Amino acid sequence: MSEVLESKEKFSTTTKEPLSGASQIPEKPQKRIFIGLLAVTCFILAGLAYVLWWVPYVGLRNIHPYLPLILAVILGLVVFAVAAGSLLLTLTILAGRDFILSRKLRGAVVKILFPLLVVMGKLFGLSREKISHSFVAINNQLVLAQDLKMGPSRLLLLMPHCLQNHDCRVKITGNVENCEGCGKCPIKDLLEIAHKYEVALAVATGGTIARRIVVQKRPMLIIAVACERDLTSGIQDTYPLPVYGIFNRRPFGPCFNTGLPLEEVELAIRHFLDTSAS
C-alpha cells in the first residue's frame, strides 16, 4: 500500500483549490484570455462592418436610395449575431451552466473562434500555447455546462503514449492491461483508477490511432490527457463528441516520460459518471 501511495505522489499534482463536492472540477484561470480576445474581435468586426457600409455608401445610393439601408441592416444583423453569441458564450462560461444552445456554442468555439483567435492573439503577441490553454479551459467549461451523466461503459479515458516510461519494453498501445504495474510511470495508477470506476482506458501513439480507438469504443464522452497541440486538434477532430481535456506534465520536455494530475482525472470521472443507480 505504501508503494502505491508513493507512486501517486510522484506522478500526480494536487488541484489548486479544494472542491465543494466530489463532482466539481477545478476551473482554469486561462479563460480570461479567450474572453478578452473574443471581446476585441467583436469590436474589430463592428468597425469593419461600419467601414464596409460607409465606403460604398455614396455609390450604393446612386444605384438605389434604399441600398445603403439594406446593407446597413445586413451588416447590423451580422454584428448583432456575433455579439449576442459572444455574450451568451461568456454568460455560459461565467455561470458554469447551460443557458441556451451550449452545444451549438461549443461548435462555434471549436470550428470558428479558435482558429480566428489564434490569428488575433498573434497580433497582440500571445503565443499559440497560451491561447490553446484558454481554448481548452473554455471547451471544458462548455462540456461541464451540458451536465452530462453516463454509465461507465460510455466513458473513455484516452491517454498519450508518452506517459509510459521510455525504457519500458512492454507494449501497451494495443492493450493497456499488458502493463506489469512496476510503478515507474503513471500507467499503473491510471489502470487502478479505471478498474475502480469500471471505465475504459486506452493509450494512443498519435491522432490516427486515437481516432480509431474512438470509433471502436464509441464513447459518449472522452476524458483526454495530452499536450496543447494534441488536445486542441483532438477536440476539433472529434467534435461534436464532447472531450474534457487535461494537460499533461512535461518535467523532462515534450513527449518523454510525461506525467499528469491523477486527482483531476479521477474528479472528472466522478463528475460525469451517473451514480443515481448506486
Domain ranges of the chain: 2-26+149-272, 31-144
Q: Above pLDDT 90, what percent of the chain?
A: 41
Q: What is the pLDDT of residues 239-272, one digit of tens each?
A: 889 999 999 999 999 999 999 999 999 999 999 9
- 56-85 average pLDDT score: 76
C-alpha cell of residue 193 = 483508477
Residue 156: strand pairing partners: 200, 222
Cβ atoms 168, 119 nearer than 8 A: no
Cβ atoms 131, 118 nearer than 8 A: yes
pLDDT of residue 38: 77
pLDDT of residue 57: 63
Q: Lowest mean pLDDT: which of 63-72, 162-171, 176-185, 207-216?
A: 63-72
pLDDT higher at 233 or 1: 233
pLDDT of residue 217: 92
User: How many Cβ atoms are within 10 Å of 271's Cβ, its own excluded?
Assistant: 20
pLDDT of residue 107: 78
- pLDDT, the chain, mean: 81
Q: Is the pLDDT of residue 223 over 90?
A: yes
Q: Above pLDDT 70, what percent of the chain?
A: 81
Cβ atoms 249, 258 nearer than 8 A: yes
- pLDDT band at residue 35 using 50, 70 and 90 as cut-offs: confident
- pLDDT band at residue 17 using 50, 70 and 90 as cut-offs: very low
pLDDT of residue 7: 47
pLDDT higher at 109 or 135: 135
Cβ neighbors of 19 (< 8 A, separation 6 or more) are 25, 26, 267
Q: Architecture of 2-26+149-272 per CATH?
A: 3-Layer(aba) Sandwich (3.40)
- 183-197 average pLDDT score: 95
**CA distance to 38, 133, 136, per residue, from 31 (Å):** 11, 8, 9
- pLDDT band at residue 203 using 50, 70 and 90 as cut-offs: very high
pLDDT of residue 167: 94
pLDDT higher at 190 or 24: 190
- pLDDT band at residue 75 using 50, 70 and 90 as cut-offs: confident
Q: Is the pLDDT of residue 157 over 60?
A: yes
| CA-derived radius of gyration, the chain | 22
Q: Is the pLDDT of residue 133 over 80?
A: yes
- 46-53 average pLDDT score: 77
